[in-house]
């Protein structure tokens, strides 16, 4: 359920896009269950899903006021280890990050969906 909840999440930003390297963000899924997103140097990120008890290895790019996060989901052993690649696009505005698009890699091609601006509950803690 990790990033499936993103459409309902809001990230608080201190002004504009800026540099998010080494920042840490959390999302309260339920009482006692918190997802964590950590932005590392060189366009790398990790995201921990409390519900799955699994850490995903992601990559990200900042383009002006847009954050593009690409995720490799290989958390489900029941599907023979098949990895699913997803891409999320966020519009960064003052103190907020809005999901504006998402997509999935299908047969080597991205299938993207544009969305209305959707708030979420991701909070920057570091």
Tokens of 110: 């991205």
pTM for this entry: 0.70
Q: Is the pLDDT of residue 125 over 90?
A: no
Please give the DSSP secondary-structure letter assigned to residue 44.
E
- For 60-86, how does the pLDDT look when each residue is reduced to its tens digit (9 = 90+)? 999 988 889 999 887 766 666 678 889
In order of 33, 44, 58, 78, the CA distances from 69 in angstroms are 22, 9, 7, 25
Q: What is the pLDDT of residue 70?
A: 94
Indicate whether 47 pLDDT > 80: yes
Question: Are residues 90 and 100 in contact, defined by beta-carbon separation less than 8 angstroms?
Answer: yes
C-alpha to C-alpha distance for 7 and 2, rounded to whole angstroms: 11
Average pLDDT score over the chain: 77
């Amino acid at each position: 359920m990790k990033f499936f909840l993103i459409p309902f999440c809001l990230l608080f930003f201190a002004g504009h896009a800026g540099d998010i390297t080494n920042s840490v963000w959390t999302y309260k899924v339920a009482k006692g269950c918190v997802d964590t997103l950590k932005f590392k140097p060189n366009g790398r990120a990790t995201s921990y899903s409390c519900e799955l008890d699994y850490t995903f290895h992601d990559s990200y790019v900042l383009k002006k006021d847009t954050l593009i996060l690409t995720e490799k989901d290989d958390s489900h052993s029941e599907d023979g280890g098949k990895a699913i690649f997803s891409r999320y696009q966020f519009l960064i505005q003052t103190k907020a990050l809005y999901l504006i698009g998402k997509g999935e890699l299908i047969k080597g091609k991205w299938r993207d969906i544009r969305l209305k601006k959707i708030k979420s509950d991701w909070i920057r803690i570091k």
